[in-house]
């Protein structure tokens, strides 16, 4: 029986070591690398071609959105499972669009993580129960579906992340290769969707929601 090779990517040492210990106790898994640096993770994926990559979204300076793009390019056979503190479906949606095959939150129990690895390795898509529950609630509550974080587009999430990092509209425009006018439109739409009045209120919203 072939063992599933796994690379763990998270910038918190304790989390990496805990996952490595737990997964290493399973005879069907082989943790071939654990790394806290995004660029190093990309290079290891290119060289070792792990079956599964457990990828934290909230890393710096390269975040999970940046890292998955390069891993999918350099090691297309590696299947990425996003691991995040965020349960908002907007984050899961973006990761799936970038090529992830699974999404679990850091609230997920151990067995759910084990199930995610096995199912994704076998070609299935895996979404953790926490995110599924939120999606179910949205179906039952149309108003919630049409407002807030879950209505943000991928581009708006990118803009929010750059606003959080303190970039001006001009700097955001340069980084995303957009016009300043387009960035301003995105900022206006973000304020409207999140129901905040100005950038200061937006920053407070971002910090309050752990974005």
- Over residues 49-69, the pLDDT tens digits come to 999 999 999 888 889 999 999
- Over residues 127-150, the pLDDT tens digits come to 999 888 877 766 555 544 445 666
Cis peptide, bond prior to residue 61, ω within 30 of zero: yes
Decide: pTM greater than 0.75. no
Residue 194's pLDDT band, with cuts at 50, 70 and 90, is confident
Residue 178 pLDDT exceeds 80: yes
Give the CA dihedral 45, 47, 52, 56, nearest 10 degrees: -20
CATH class of 152-208: mainly alpha
Counting Cα atoms < 13 Å in the Cβ hemisphere of 12 gives 12
Among positive and negative, which fits the CA dihedral 60, 97, 29, 77?
negative
- Over residues 64-76, the pLDDT tens digits come to 999 999 999 999 9
d(C-alpha 120, C-alpha 185), whole Å: 38
Whether the Cβ atoms of residue 10 and residue 83 lie closer than 8 Å to each other: yes
- Over residues 93-108, the pLDDT tens digits come to 889 999 999 999 988 9
Question: So what's the architecture of 4-135 in CATH?
Answer: 3-Layer(aba) Sandwich (3.40)
User: For the chain, what are the domain ranges?
Assistant: 4-135, 152-208
Query: Rounded to 5 degrees, what are φ and ψ at 72?
Result: -65, -30
pLDDT of residue 138: 62
If residue 71 lies in a helix (H) or strand (E), which one and from where to where?
Answer: helix 64-74
Reading the block at residue 56, the tokens are 């934290």
Q: Are strands 102-105 and 126-127 parallel, antiparallel or unpaired?
A: parallel
């Amino acid at each position: 029986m072939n063992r599933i090779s796994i690379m763990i990517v998270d910038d918190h040492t304790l989390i990496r070591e805990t996952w490595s210990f737990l997964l290493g106790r399973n005879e069907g898994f082989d943790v071939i690398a654990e790394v806290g640096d995004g660029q190093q993770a990309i290079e290891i994926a290119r060289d070792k071609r792990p079956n599964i990559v457990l990828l934290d979204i909230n890393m710096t300076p390269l975040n999970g959105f940046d890292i998955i793009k390069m891993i999918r390019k350099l090691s297309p056979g590696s299947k990425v499972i996003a691991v995040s503190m965020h349960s908002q479906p907007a984050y899961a949606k973006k990761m799936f669009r970038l090529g992830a095959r699974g999404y679990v939150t850091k609230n997920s129990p151990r067995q759910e993580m084990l199930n995610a690895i096995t199912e994704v390795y076998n070609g299935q898509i895996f979404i953790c129960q926490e995110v599924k529950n939120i999606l179910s609630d949205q179906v039952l509550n149309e108003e919630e579906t049409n407002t807030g974080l879950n209505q943000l587009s991928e581009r708006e999430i990118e803009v929010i992340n750059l606003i959080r990092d303190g970039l001006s509209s001009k700097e955001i425009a340069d980084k995303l290769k957009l016009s300043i006018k387009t960035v301003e439109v995105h900022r206006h739409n973000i304020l409207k969707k999140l129901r905040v009045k100005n950038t200061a209120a937006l920053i407070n919203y971002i910090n309050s929601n752990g974005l």
